[in-house]
Amino acid sequence: MELAAPQLADKIRAAKPALVQAWYEHQFSPSWVANWQISGVREGDRERLTERFLAPLVELLCRCLGGDQTMSAIYLDERLRYAPHREAMSRRAEFFQQLLNQDLASLRKTLSLAPPEEAVLEQYWQELHAPLLRASELPVSLLALGDCLMNEIRVFLPALCAQQNIALDMRCIYFSNAQQRGLSLDDVKAFLSVNQVDLIGISFFSFSGIPAYSLVLREADQLDQDGLQSRVDMLLAQARDFIAELRKLTNVPVLLHNVSGLPLTRWRHHLPVLPPLSRGRKRLMALLNQGLGDLAEHTENCLLIDEWQAVNQYGWRPASKNLLPKALRTMAHTSAFGQMLSPQYLKPIRAFQHLKKTKALLLDFDNTLWRGVMADEEVEQFHGRQKLLRELKNAGLLLIAVSKNSEENIRWQEMTLQPEDFAATKINWQMKPQNIAEVAHELNLGLNSFVFIDDNPVERELVANELPDVVCLDAEADWVWQSLELLFEFPNTQQTEEASKRTEMYQQQVARKQSMGGQLDYPAMMASLGLTMRFSEALDKDLDRVSELVSRTNQFNTTTIRYDKSELAEMMTSPNFRIFVAELGDKFGELGIVCVAVIECKDNTWYIANFIMSCRAMGFNLELAMLHQVVKLAQAADVSAVTGRYVASDRNLPCAQLFANAGFEKSNDIDWQLEEASFDALQAVEWITQKPRS
């Protein structure tokens, strides 16, 4: 007879004292702690660690064996307490592989099970701990800033993400009045200097929160409206200043919490006859939430996590419920509130996972932009979807029509979207993978920047199999359209004039490709385009576009260094840097600023710290024309050498030969140099006419 989970749990409980000591010997031995650089362990801590960590951990393990998913989530999170939780996931998985093997060996030895029972134990063990052993190379990384509420979200969110096949790497940096940790960017700055972060969650005013908030909570019932408003203005100013400074470090999306009013006071928590919040605290919550809503709305790339909505939906007292029995609360005090809020985090995480690289949305028509088949019948237009897509187009994303249809069947007069909204149209009877591959060539975009939306699972599977880099999404899934709405708060959309003109520019690029298609004489083909370049040092008005190019461009980006807007602004005024830009135009229209060179000037040498060119300008030799202008200015400034740097990435192969093609000599693995004696050898590009910038 197989060993049932309750029987196994009883055996483990009976052996708990011996098991706790065995686990302590290997998990907290000086050599283990030193090797893995485990923090929070001090000499003489044996009693504290065994009674307040390991003994409750064993009890949690027993409860997990009964299939309690809530206990399993808490158990897995507690396993991180004395682990290298700030290391990369691969390093953390290596740690747990070694630790769990030792723990299991101690468990077997302590329990003295028969071989069939050992097999059952191992099966339970492997299934329970599998999440700790995953080492995804490309997880979604979430940095959470706040107090213990962020711990509670970290308990439950990874399992929700795993259900959607999303690997989540969530790290926490705390500020808490209870732990005397104030609101400071120093830890955040240090973390970001060595870690890639995709999303940042911030809860300023939850639970203990920042010290000033705790003080205002105590005063709320004694203050009049003006006094309360002045306190709220002070708190919001702290939040606003923090986010403004954070924006200087990174432009990743911020998930900003509003306020719930938790935790309840002791009496209001235990006496249902009392309302959960006093009148003063309700006024405080209303003022704070109005201000935080405004802050989220007016902050670039910022989404609201609605604590107030969650606690109103579930109730303050259910949200306050401690999920652990009293016997285990020496270890943790996980409340239900983190469980209630986690689904709000899942939405932006899922959107980011699928849409983070999006530059173009490839759209089926029938049963995607409308319900029905337009060639056969009257259809119901999805005007809301089409309006959303047009707004995304105006924010810089490209719309591509990929429809198995005849063009004469499309009744544009019924639609919100119009032909001019599409950068390219493939309305024909070719296979969709072929159409998509052609569009990628015409627009000079990587397939991994394409998102294909179609209601037909056969078409999606065909594209996924033939073009695996393309993200394929189901047009009938509500979450897909909800995720597209969140794109406005992701860095791949921009509210700039350049972004609003991007579709027109790519339409011109398709026309160029078609215009050049039959010609074999490359110089004549280029000359037929009437190419013009306008070159100058970057002006103040160029800052937004320069920042956009630096943050968005991957293929023609020599070092892939991401300068934020404030760094670029500082460089533009520094005597140690010069930033040059080039606009490109032709007989079809103007492409605007498409090339940026960031130059560091030191030791009588100009170092090209980064050279960036939009993918839509590739193929015209604009990069050589740009370098020619840079070298001419270096010569005029009596510079003795110009050095370029190429640092290979997984995506910037198109610029690998930039400096070699310009006559630079390789000086080491990443640096290329052009000496003063060779400056004149770099010639202008004959088919590109130089014009002054207006």
| CB crowding 127-137: b at 16 or more within 10 Å, else e | ebbebbeebee
Percent of the chain past pLDDT 90, that is, above it, reads 59
pLDDT over threshold 50, residue 477: yes
Q: Determine the pLDDT at residue 564.
A: 86
β-sheet with 471-474: strand ranges across: 424-428, 398-404, 360-363, 450-454, 471-474
> Nearest-CA neighbor of 259 among 303, 300, 216, 310?
310
43 contacts: CB under 8 Å, gap ≥ 6: none
Contact 615/622 with Cβ under 8 angstroms?
no
Provide the token pair at 626. Answer: 């740009």
Q: What amino acid is encoded at 281 in this protein?
A: R
**How far is C-alpha 230 from the chain's CA centre?**
35
β-sheet with 302-305: strand ranges across: 168-174, 140-146, 199-202, 254-257, 302-305
Run of H or E residues at 211:
helix 211-219
Dihedral sign, CA of 254, 255, 258, 262? Answer: negative
pLDDT over threshold 60, residue 378: yes
Strands (E), 445-576: 450-454, 471-474, 531-537
Homologous superfamily of 357-499 in CATH?
Answer: HAD superfamily/HAD-like (3.40.50.1000)
pLDDT over threshold 90, residue 18: yes
Instruction: Collapse the DSSP code of 294 into the 3-class scheme (helix H, G, I; strand E, B; otherwise coil) and give the result.
Output: helix
Q: How confident is the model at residue 181 (pLDDT cuts 50, 70, 90)?
A: low
Provide the token pair at 683. Answer: 């010639």
Domains in the chain: boundaries: 1-133, 136-356, 357-499, 518-691
Dihedral sign, CA of 672, 678, 679, 681? Answer: negative
Q: Determine the pLDDT at residue 583.
A: 95
Average pLDDT value for residue range 286-301: 94
Average pLDDT value for residue range 273-283: 93
Q: Determine the pLDDT at residue 518.
A: 47
Neighbours of 191 (CB within 10 A): 16
Q: Determine the pLDDT at residue 525.
A: 65
Provide the token pair at 419. Answer: 């032909």
Could you read off the pLDDT of 305-319 as tens digits, one per residue?
A: 999 999 999 999 999
What is the CATH number that goes with domain 518-691? 3.40.630.30
Q: Mean pLDDT over all residues of the chain?
A: 89
Could you read off the pLDDT of 408-440 as tens digits, one per residue?
A: 889 999 999 999 999 999 998 888 999 999 999
Please indicate whether the domains covering 136-356 and 518-691 agree at the CATH topology level. Answer: no
pLDDT over threshold 90, residue 79: yes
pLDDT over threshold 60, residue 179: no
**How far is C-alpha 229 from the chain's CA centre?**
35
Could you read off the pLDDT of 611-627 as tens digits, one per residue?
A: 999 877 877 899 999 99
Q: Determine the pLDDT at residue 502.
A: 62
**How far is C-alpha 115 from the chain's CA centre?**
47
Could you read off the pLDDT of 385-404 as tens digits, one per residue?
A: 999 999 999 988 999 999 98
β-sheet with 577-586: strand ranges across: 665-666, 671-675, 641-645, 605-613, 589-602, 577-586, 531-537, 688-691
Could you read off the pLDDT of 133-161 as tens digits, one per residue?
A: 987 777 899 999 998 899 999 999 999 99
Contact 499/493 with Cβ under 8 angstroms?
yes
Q: How confident is the model at residue 182 (pLDDT cuts 50, 70, 90)?
A: low
Most confident of 145-149, 476-480, 675-679: 476-480
What is the CATH number that goes with domain 136-356? 3.40.50.1110
Q: Determine the pLDDT at residue 520.
A: 44
Q: Determine the pLDDT at residue 485.
A: 95
pLDDT over threshold 50, residue 493: yes
* CA–CA distance, 41 with 48 (Å, rounded to integer): 10
pLDDT over threshold 50, residue 1: no
Provide the token pair at 201. Answer: 């969650």
Provide the token pair at 657. Answer: 């030969």
* CA–CA distance, 97 with 77 (Å, rounded to integer): 16
Q: How confident is the model at residue 635 (pLDDT cuts 50, 70, 90)?
A: very high
Q: Determine the pLDDT at residue 112.
A: 84
pLDDT over threshold 50, residue 554: yes
Instruction: Find the range with the poorest average confidence among 280-294, 509-523, 593-607.
Output: 509-523
